[in-house]
Amino acid sequence: MSVNSLGAQERPQVLVVDDHPTTRKLMSAWLELSGYPVSQAEDGIRAWSAAQFDCPPIVVTDWNMPEMSGLELCRSIRRKLCNEDVYILVATSRDSGDDLSEAMAAGANDFLSKPIQEDEFLARIQNAENAIRQLQMKTELAEVDGLTGLLNRRSFLERSEAALEVTKQLGQPTSCLMMDIDLFKQFNDQYGHAMGDDVLRLVASIIKETSQNREIAGRLGGDEFCILLSEYDENEAILYADRLRKLIIDRSSELIGPHAVVRTTIGVSPFTAECRTITDLLELSDRALLSAKNEGRDRTQS
Ligand code: GH3
């Protein structure tokens, strides 16, 4: 589902399904003129094939179509794809109260009577877009740490577990990095909690800046950050950790001043035969972190 990637100015993709070419083309033209990316399907079967591959966030479908009706398409998206996030609008010349109930029971979000008027159609589509944006916000709020914008503990663990399964199957290395800010309580006491928050945001922004597709980063709580590094062996992970620590020292000095440089300690662990799950891997990097702290902080240790 593409809600996760919908930018503020970006219109969501709409799939228009209708076996009547004139109606399908008319709806598509209205949408395109309003800036919506549109894909078209001339019947339910073709729409279902497209939806299984990559279901757009909004589907507008006719009801009566040969072989697979609009309502069968609704049921398939909801039950076979288990996708509750797609907004489905049924546009039909059937307009009794029973028809409306039947469409809703099949999983439609909205119902539009034919012949369709442009203003009403676009208003309903705007309504669908609003619903999708709200869903996107809720999803982000549930997954992301509010202060830093990194993943929260729960979603970090979920995503890391999935990524770990992939690299395990492909036989690629994976490493994990656990980072803690040195003497952060003391920092808060000296410079204030608001400045402490700035430091947490700074650390997160450096992590985001230095990571791309192979890294999953989360704030596990307080001043503790964790990064799962897919396709990194132990040495590559240590190099990455040292680069992060140096950037944090440099940037915090620019942000606050050379008297208040922020230093961090990082524990690194590779995924080895002795760990089976993401929790085992995190435990290993946590142990490495503890050992690095006991050695005097401000270092990376594996
Ligand atoms: P050590 O080097 O041994 O890890 O010591 P520390 O002071 O960094 O670690 P400790 O666990 O004792 O303290 C963590 C501090 O992090 C305590 C708490 O005030 C601070 N902290 C936790 N969450 C936040 C936050 O959201 N904002 C700010 N500013 N501080 C936070």
Ligand 1 atom closest to the CA of 187, numbered from 1: 7
pLDDT number for residue 3: 38
Cα–Cα nearest to 241, from 213, 270, 199: 270
Q: Name the residue with the closest Cα to ligand 1, atom 17.
A: 185
pLDDT number for residue 1: 34
CA gap 244, 235 in Å, rounded? 14
Q: Are 54 and 83 in contact (CB under 8 A)?
A: no
Whether the model pTM is above 0.90: no
**How remote is the CA of residue 295 from the centroid of ligand 1, in Å?**
19
ipTM of the complex: 0.98
Q: Strand 87-92 to strand 58-62: parallel, antiparallel, or no bridges (unpaired)?
A: parallel
Q: Name the residue with the closest Cα to ligand 1, atom 23.
A: 222
pLDDT, tens only, 105-140: 999 999 999 999 999 999 999 999 999 999 888 888
**How remote is the CA of residue 195 from the centroid of ligand 1, in Å?**
12
Q: Give me the percent of the chain exceeding a pLDDT of 70.
A: 98
Q: Which residues contact 229 (CB under 8 A, 6 or more apart)?
A: 174, 175, 176, 177, 214, 215, 236, 237, 240
Per-state percent for the chain, helix, strand, coil, to nearest 5 = 55, 20, 30
Q: Give me the mean pLDDT over the 281-298 stretch.
A: 96
Q: Name the residue with the closest Cα to ligand 1, atom 27.
A: 197
Ligand 1 cavity residues, CB under 6 Å:
147, 180-186, 188, 193, 196-197, 200, 222-223, 293, 297
**How remote is the CA of residue 247 from the centroid of ligand 1, in Å?**
20
Q: Which residues contact 42 (CB under 8 A, 6 or more apart)?
A: 17, 18, 19, 21, 24
Q: Which residues contact 237 (CB under 8 A, 6 or more apart)?
A: 175, 176, 177, 229, 268, 270, 302
**How remote is the CA of residue 163 from the centroid of ligand 1, in Å?**
29
CA gap 223, 297 in Å, rounded? 14
Name the band, by pLDDT with cuts 50, 70 and 90, for residue 5: low
pLDDT, tens only, 227-253: 999 999 999 999 999 999 999 999 999
Ligand 1 atom closest to the CA of 185, numbered from 1: 7
pLDDT, tens only, 71-102: 999 999 998 887 788 999 999 988 788 888 99
